[in-house]
Chains A and B, each alone.
Chain A
Amino acid sequence: MAITSDNVFMTQLDAAANWARSNSLWPMPFATACCGIELMATASSRYDIARFGAEVMRFSPRQCDLLIVAGRVVMKMLPVLQRIWLQMPEPKWCISMGACACTGGVFDTYAVVLGVDRFIPVDIYVPGCPPRPEQLLNSIIELQDAIKKHGTLNGTEFADRRTAEGPAPLSLEELRRSRDFLLAKAGDEALAQQQRTAPPTQ
Chain B
Amino acid sequence: MTSMSTIERLKQRFSGEGFASSQFRDNTRFDIPPADVTGVLTFLKNDCGFDLLVDITAVDLLEYPDARNRFRVFYALANTSTAERIYVRTHLDEPDLTLPSAYPLWRGADWMEREVFDMFGIRFASHPNLKRILMPEEFTAFPLRKDYPLRGRGERHNFPVITRAES
Give residues in A with beta carbon < 8 Å to B: 75-76, 78-79, 82, 85-86, 92, 108-114, 118-121, 158-159, 161-164, 169-170, 174, 177-178, 181
Contact = CB atoms under 8 A, between A and B. Distances in A.
Which interface class (under 10, 10 to 19, 20 to 34, 35 or more) fits B?
20 to 34
B154 A109 contact: no
Interface of B: 134-136, 143, 148-157, 159-165, 167
A158 B164 contact: yes
9 contacts: A82-B160, A109-B152, A110-B155, A113-B156, A114-B156, A121-B163, A164-B162, A169-B161, A170-B154
Given A75-B136, A75-B159, A111-B135, A174 B154 contact: yes
B162 A82 contact: yes
A82 B159 contact: yes
B37 to A, nearest CB: 29
A85 B167 contact: yes
A177 B151 contact: yes
Given A82-B160, A162-B165, A178 B135 contact: no
A113 B135 CA distance: 14
Given A169-B157, A170-B154, A177-B153, A110 B164 contact: no
